[in-house]
Amino acid sequence: MTFRDRLLPWVTALASCLVLVAGARAEGRSAADAIHEYREMLEDANPADLVEMRGEELWSTARGPRHASLEQCDLGLGPGVLDGAYARLPRYFADTGRVQDAESRLVTCITRLQGIPREDVVRHWYRRGSDIEALVTFVAARSKGSPVDVPAREPHEAALLAVGADFFFRRSGPLDFACSTCHSQDDRRIRLQEVPNFTDPAAARASMTQWPAYRVSQSSVWTMERRLVDCIRQMRYPEPGFASDVLVALQLYLQHQASGGVMQGPGIRR
């Protein structure tokens, strides 16, 4: 399928979404209803597909001073094994002695296999068209249909899971918010947006299996790290560094809660 063939259905769907949102407003239905309809229409043509394709190209192209591709990258299931790997992250990697999420493991692979310095890899990670986000999207898509499996029983993982849970529930910062202030009640909405209750495994599964996601409101694909940084920013906390332990710890907690859910991502979010 050519780039244009893949582009067309979602351009059509995007136009329809604008009509749907306007129609929903006129009929008094919520924007969430319209986004739900939009999501159904885009099931076979998510704009994230294009990002995924770019990620695949980055994965298989020889780059960097070592002129190597990422095809030998070990995401936890062995060098080059992609299917189902994202669904088991974050996990402990003995060769780095760290618990790593998709982002941080990809940085390890890019620096080691391709010889690109870390600063260059992470510099523009959150920019539209970011290489690392495209790679995460590609890697995550290769877990579509795999169950999330993050038991976090390995001692390093168990220790970081405890940190993540602690962070999730502990109120602090200038607004005295915890993640749980917003994310521990059912059917909660903030400014008409649905806010998942991550203390409920069913709700955690419904949310986490959709990421990375194309965000309609941002017209771009966001990885879970970027989603978390945005919530942390709204809490007026200092912004955590890319692939930092706190982002890995929070994902460990969320993926642990979501374990058993079947990966659907890349999804579509508001």
List residues binding ligand HEC (CB under 6 A).
168, 177, 179, 181-183, 190, 193, 195-196, 207, 210, 227-228, 231-232, 234-235, 250, 254, 269-270
Tell me the two tokens of residue 174. 């200038």
Measure Cα distances from 56 to 26, 61, 69, 140, 264 in Å: 41, 9, 11, 11, 18
Main-chain dihedrals φ then ψ at residue 253, nearest 5 degrees: -65, -45
**Of 56 and 157, CB closest to ligand HEC:** 157
CA distance 178 to 174: 11
**Of 85 and 179, CB closest to ligand HEC:** 179
C-alpha torsion sign, points 66, 81, 161, 239? positive
CA distance 81 to 70: 11
CB atoms within 10 A of CB 70: 24
**Shortest Cβ distance from residue 251 to ligand HEC (Å)?**
8
**Shortest Cβ distance from residue 115 to ligand HEC (Å)?**
33
**Shortest Cβ distance from residue 161 to ligand HEC (Å)?**
13
CA distance 129 to 123: 13
**Of 116 and 206, CB closest to ligand HEC:** 206
Annotated active-site residue in 17, 73, 109, 231: 231
**Shortest Cβ distance from residue 31 to ligand HEC (Å)?**
10
Q: Which residues of 30-53 are buried (b: 16+ CB within 10 A; e: fewer)?
A: ebeebbbbbbebbeebbbbbbbbb
**Shortest Cβ distance from residue 34 to ligand HEC (Å)?**
14
The C-alpha angle with vertex 212 and arms to 36 and 113, in degrees rounded to 5, equals 165
**Of 70 and 247, CB closest to ligand HEC:** 247
Q: Are 6 and 49 in contact (CB under 8 A)?
A: yes
**Of 34 and 195, CB closest to ligand HEC:** 195
Q: Is 179 a known active-site residue?
A: no
Residues marked active site are found at 231
